[in-house]
């Protein structure tokens, strides 16, 4: 599958998809009929209007009837032995921020008879260089919270949820998620501090990490130690996240002797948490590394990355209410307690079910 610029010689295939009932606007099936009428009036003008990087087109009419200035942008067509779908990109020059009425930088739609072939995932990946070419560090995308296929497309490309909101009724009124997709970071990112290196995981980390996760002192505030399979699974999930996004729960090694110490980094909070979506700063170090300030040193570097490179508005941390050692790290980092909650994955009545939530806002 390739992305092609709209062209007259491909217009018949595009129009055929419209006639089959597909709409490039997920909210407005009527858009298909409107576009067919525009094609019938002047096919050359219709094709030309799909590419407008200087925002010379007319005012945009929003679903609620409001008229607003057009943003620079363009549409591309997904093409593999014919038309597969469309992907659009719009931006505000000089800023990643978008006007409130704009749902995101990128939107895509695949025709129903070509879905589940990976076209949307590949199309979004192909947009990375195009977003970077406009000087943007990231693009924002939104989708309905219940739209699992679209969420998978974004996550597969390294995007992650940064907020939850309800669309206005004119846009469908659905509970929705806002994602960020960073395009400018080298993959994977490594961070050096005075004494530590935060890096991608290596094969040699598996054995010491398994020993760490089996240590009852390290796992005192978890329901149970991790099995070797569980420990290896956590490495793999962390490795994949770093490969996709450039950052995540980094393996930590001491620079002086290259000894593996555990992990410190950033991770996306799971959906079932009451404060999701959010990005969490987390750490877990071997018992022999405790008492040296390593967790604070590494976490502080991760937070600088979160606010400086990722431009996040907030980072959270949480732990069992009894975990005074981890709470002390959060407070040394400048985080402030914002509430208590029962961890949904811990059985009711268990001593570790009560948890505390800490937040650190930008600035």
**Residue 354 token pair:** 């009560």
Task: Reduce the secondary structure of 345-363 to three states and give it as a string.
Answer: CCCCCCCCCEEEEEEEECC
Q: Please, are residues 315 and 339 in contact by the beta-carbon 8 Å criterion?
A: no
CA atoms of 156 and 269, how far apart (whole Å): 16
In the chain, % of residues over pLDDT 90? 87
Q: What's the average model confidence in pLDDT over 245-272? A: 96
How many other C-beta atoms can be found within 10 angstroms of the C-beta atom of residue 360? Answer: 20
How many other C-beta atoms can be found within 10 angstroms of the C-beta atom of residue 169? Answer: 10
Q: What's the average model confidence in pLDDT over 265-269? A: 97
Spans of all domains in the chain: 2-182, 191-361
∠ CA(21), CA(147), CA(170), 5° rounding? 70
Separation of first and last alpha carbons in the chain: 43
Rounded to 5 degrees, what are φ and ψ at 45?
-65, -35
**Residue 8 token pair:** 């007259």
Q: What are 66-125's pLDDT values in tens digits?
A: 899 999 999 999 999 999 999 999 999 989 999 988 989 999 999 999 999 999 999 999
Does domain 191-361 sit in CATH 3.40.190.10?
A: no
- Let me know if the fold of 2-182 is the same as that of 191-361: yes
Q: What are 175-201's pLDDT values in tens digits?
A: 999 999 998 766 689 999 999 999 999
Q: Which fold has domain 2-182?
A: Aminopeptidase (3.40.630)
What is the pLDDT of the chain when averaged over all its residues? 94
Q: Name the maximum alpha-carbon separation found in the chain.
A: 75
The answer, yes or no, to whether residue 27 has pLDDT greater than 90, is no
CA atoms of 186 and 191, how far apart (whole Å): 12
CA atoms of 105 and 128, how far apart (whole Å): 12
């Amino acid at each position: 599958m390739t992305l092609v610029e709209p062209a007259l010689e491909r217009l018949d295939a595009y129009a055929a998809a419209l006639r089959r009932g597909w709409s490039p606007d997920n909210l407005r099936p009527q858009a298909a009929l409107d576009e067919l009428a525009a094609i019938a009036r002047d096919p050359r003008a219709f094709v030309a209007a799909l590419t407008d990087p200087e925002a010379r087109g007319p005012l945009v009419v929003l679903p609620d009837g409001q008229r607003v200035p057009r943003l620079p942008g363009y549409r591309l067509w997904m093409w593999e032995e014919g038309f597969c779908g469309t992907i659009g990109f719009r931006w505000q020059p000089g800023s990643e921020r978008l006007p409130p009425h704009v749902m995101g930088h990128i939107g895509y739609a695949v025709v129903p008879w070509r879905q589940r072939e990976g076209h949307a995932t590949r199309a979004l990946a192909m947009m990375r260089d195009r977003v970077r070419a406009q000087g943007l560090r990231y693009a924002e995308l939104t989708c309905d919270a219940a739209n699992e296929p679209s969420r998978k497309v974004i996550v597969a490309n390294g995007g992650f949820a940064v907020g939850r909101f309800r669309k206005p009724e004119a846009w469908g009124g659905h509970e929705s998620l806002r994602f960020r997709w960073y395009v400018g970071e080298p993959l994977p990112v490594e961070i050096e501090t005075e004494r530590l290196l935060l890096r991608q995981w290596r094969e040699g980390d598996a054995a010491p990490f398994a020993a760490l996760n089996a240590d009852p002192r390290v796992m005192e505030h978890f329901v149970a130690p991790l099995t070797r399979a569980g420990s290896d699974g956590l490495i793999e999930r962390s490795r994949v996240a770093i490969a996709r996004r450039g950052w995540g729960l980094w393996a930590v090694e001491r620079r002086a002797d290259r000894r593996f110490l555990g992990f410190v980094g950033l991770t996306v909070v799971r959906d079932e948490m009451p404060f999701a979506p959010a990005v969490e700063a987390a750490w877990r170090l071997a018992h022999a590394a405790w008492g040296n300030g390593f967790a604070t040193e590494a976490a502080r570097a991760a937070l600088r990355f979160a606010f400086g490179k990722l431009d996040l508005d907030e980072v959270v941390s949480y732990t069992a209410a009894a975990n005074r050692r981890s709470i002390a790290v959060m407070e040394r980092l400048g985080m402030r307690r914002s509430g208590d909650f029962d961890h949904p994955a811990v059985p009711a009545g268990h001593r570790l079910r009560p948890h505390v939530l800490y937040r650190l806002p930008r600035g």
